Amino acid sequence: MRLENKIAIVTGAASGLGKAIADLFVDEGAKVIYSDINEINDIKGQEFVKCDVSNKEEVNELVNHAVKKFGRLDIMVNNAGIASSGSLTETDDSTWDKTIAVNLSGTFYGMRAAGRSMKEKKVRGSIINIGSIAGEVGFKDTLSYCASKGGVTQMTRAAALDMAEFNIRVNVIAPGVIETNMVKDFLEDENFKKMVSDNTPLGRVGKSEDIAFVALYLASDESSFTTGETVKVDGGWTAR
């Protein structure tokens, strides 16, 4: 098992990417704390901790809980996020504030809490952030989302440099369009589906498992020389 005896937290683990990542980590031997703002029923015999990642105190408590229970934290997956839409002139303050609070600040709080714990406990840990190709290229009418995910990408690079001397790796996965509840409504629009297929060289929408297996690599010791990287899992979208 590639994560035997590792201790992990996965945020946004109620469904979609987070659920797939957490489940795969369990299958590979990790002890996983599933965390989400929503309750989770199927957690493979593991533990659930409710957490709003936009609340730094709740994030700190989440990491502290893991350390108190297991003695350390090896892997932190900052996956929790929300989608948002709106152009430059149409994006209102509430949309902007919420998107940045969850996607950018929430990731920062998770990175900081995990990094502090790993540093204190002298853990050679792995912090994995879930970004987006929207943080790499522009998308029309998604200003706040693009800004938040672009921030995650740059924050990951800076954090990787900060934490390298402590043997703590920090990487970001940038998914393309993945079949999750977040994009379910969009995928019901035939024009959107055609746009995705036209722009994806591999010609399909991604699956949650496509992201989970990359997260597994980044969480495992197999990636011990990988840090500060953005791993695009987008079917070739950004290769065009």
Catalytic positions are 145
Cα–Cα distance measured from residue 230 to residue 225, given in angstroms and rounded to the nearest whole number = 14
What DSSP character marks residue 33?
E
Distance CA 149, CA 130 (A): 8
Taking the C-alpha atoms of residue 206 and residue 187, their distance in angstroms, rounded to an integer, is: 12
Q: How far is CA 69 from CA 74, 77, 116, 140, in A?
A: 13, 18, 17, 45
Secondary structure percentages of the chain, helix, strand, coil, to 5: 50, 15, 35
Q: From CA 5, how far away is CA 54, in angstroms rounded?
A: 29
Tokens standing for residue 183: 């994009």
